[in-house]
Amino acid sequence: MPAIKPFTVKQHLEAWLHQMEQKHAPCFPERPGAGYENNYKELAAYLDQHVHTEVERGALLADIGNGTITYEHAVYLNNHGPNHVKCAIDRASDLLRELNLKLSPYEGFLLLAAIHFHDVGNVLGREGHEKRIGQIMASPEVAKRLGDATEGLFIRRIASVHGGKTEDGSKDTISTLLERDELFGQTIRPRFLSALLRFADELADDRTRASRFRLADGSLPPFSELFHAYSHALYSVRIDHDAVHLSYEITPATGTRTYKKTTRTSDGAKPDVEVFLLDEIYARTQKMHQERMYCMRFWPSECRVLEKIEVTITACLVPPESGYPIKEERITFTLREEGYPTGPADDANCTLCLGTSPERPTGEMLKGRLEEACRSLTERSHG
């Protein structure tokens, strides 16, 4: 198998691709077409304009088309459009830069293309969307921008393991890919690329994805609110050399109410439940912790340095729009592996801190605290 010629990625991935083609053109495989950057730009522009913008609408229409969904249960996805793709590319660039991960120029091209394709299957329906990428790729306008079929299939496979399950029901989808494979005489690392994409996607679920207007307006279908509320709460994602730092904000408006959510039990049932946003943040950060451990397994051994996820949840005890002085309490915790492995995600070792309380507050507890703060504020204003 030919050797890989990797380069560090110290800038945004798209700018890096440009630089690579300018300075290291011979590092790309020779194939017909107008250069890799041009090929990527043309593909990205088409997808941005004609496919990404259709994702949320397409998913909703597919649900309606199935005829099994009520307005209440309808899922109006948070942003899966060009902004989400851009955000995922930003996060992948951050990971590459901060963790000193290296890519060959051709791998960079494949990764960028795969990020563009990872959610497009939603256009045809949310369930199993990762398996529908091929259908979008096969549409003539997309296919002609992809060119070679083998390259297209690599991109599809890298993109399609960002979620879902394998044929035998396992969530270990990345292992279905080869560790190394060859394309146009170059070695590429499908598992590494897909693990990068998968974790970048996990981190690309921030405030930019929320439909702020509809959230504030209360015009989202009930079972869609939580997606948007969660995204809106995550206002900062930062990666440094060994940690992901997540910052959330919970206001009295979002912290004192519950949101409707459909869960999945181990026996396949899908009961509806009501959850507080704080509890949802706990659940989602636990999942992110699992994803970090899972994805890092496929990174080069010397780069498995992303040790922890540091979470800060700011509970605004005074509504930001009230004009009163800011009064906040913070819940901070770190998700990292410590001590002897205990298995289930709920037992993942983490350190917690809420003001002076040593215990992890639940959503119910936070609701009480926020309501108390609100009463005190009202009394002060009347007094």
Partner 1 sequence: MDSLVNPFTVQTPEDIPAKEVLALFVDVFTDFPKILGDGHVFLNGPRGSGKSMILRYLQPDCQLLHKPASQLKELEFFAAYAPLKNCDLKLTELRRLEGQHASVILNEHFMVMYIAVKTFASLAELMCSDTDPAHLAAAQAYGADVFWGLLAKCGYDKPVKAFSECHSVGECCRVIADTCESLFHEVISYLRHLDFRKEVLPFYGPLCGYLDMLCPLLKTLGRLPFMPGPGKPIYLLIDDADNLNVTQTRILNSWVSSRTSRFVSIKIATQMHYRTFRTVTGQTIDTPHDYTEVNISTVYTSSKRRYKERVREIVRNRLRYCGIVDTDPEDFFPPDAVQEQKVQAIAERHRRAWSESGRGYRPDDDALRYARPDYMKELAGTTSSTYSYSGFEQLVHVSSGIIRYFLEAAAEMFSEMQAEYRGAPIASIRPEIQNRVVRKQADEFLFDDLEKLRDDESADSPDEAIVTRLNSLVRALGGVFWQILLSNRSERRVFSVALSDDPSGELREVLRLGMRYGYFHESSIGNKEGTGRTRLYILSRRLAPHFNLDPTSFAGYFFLKSSQLVEAMRNPETFIRGMEKRIYNPSGSAESLEERQLKLFE
- DSSP 8-state secondary structure symbol assigned to residue 30: P
Query: Please, which residue, 21 or 151, has the CB nearer to partner 1?
Result: 151
Of the candidates 135, 322, 342, 351, which one interacts with partner 1 according to CB under 8 A? 135
- Binding segment for partner 1 (CB under 8 A), chosen from 67-75, 95-103, 175-183, 198-206, is 175-183
Site size toward partner 1, by CB under 8 A = 34
31 forms part of the interface with partner 1 (CB under 8 A): yes
- Binding segment for partner 1 (CB under 8 A), chosen from 128-136, 257-265, 274-282, 312-320, is 128-136
β partners of residue 354: 331, 357
- Binding segment for partner 1 (CB under 8 A), chosen from 36-44, 139-147, 217-225, 255-263, is 139-147
Residue type, 173: T
State which H helix or E strand residue 261 sits in. Answer: strand 258-262
Min separation Cβ 2 and partner 1, Å: 7
How many residues make up the chain in this entry? 383
153 forms part of the interface with partner 1 (CB under 8 A): yes
Calpha distance 136→114 (Å, rounded): 13
Query: Using alpha carbons only, what angle is made at residue 237 by residues 234 and 243, rounded to the nearest 5 degrees?
Result: 130
Calpha distance 115→45 (Å, rounded): 13
Of the candidates 6, 125, 147, 319, which one interacts with partner 1 according to CB under 8 A? 147
25 forms part of the interface with partner 1 (CB under 8 A): no
Closest of 342, 285, 287, 348 to residue 311, by C-alpha: 285
- Binding segment for partner 1 (CB under 8 A), chosen from 55-63, 134-142, 309-317, 335-343, is 134-142
Where helices occur in 181-309 by DSSP H, the ranges are 190-203, 212-217, 225-233, 252-255, 277-296
Calpha distance 315→260 (Å, rounded): 21
Tell me if 348 sits within 8 A of 289, measured CB to CB: yes
5 forms part of the interface with partner 1 (CB under 8 A): no
Of the candidates 13, 16, 20, 29, which one interacts with partner 1 according to CB under 8 A? 29
Pairing of strands 258-262, 243-250: unpaired
* CB proximity list for 89: less than 8 A, separation 6 or greater: 12, 13, 14, 112, 115, 200
321 forms part of the interface with partner 1 (CB under 8 A): no
Min separation Cβ 192 and partner 1, Å: 14
Of the candidates 98, 181, 307, 337, which one interacts with partner 1 according to CB under 8 A? 181
Of the candidates 19, 176, 258, 349, which one interacts with partner 1 according to CB under 8 A? 176
Min separation Cβ 302 and partner 1, Å: 21
Residues numbered 32 to 71 that lie near partner 1 (CB under 8 A) are 32
Q: For binding to partner 1 (CB under 8 A), which residues are involved?
A: 1-2, 29-32, 131-132, 134-135, 137-138, 140, 143, 147-154, 167-168, 175-179, 181-185
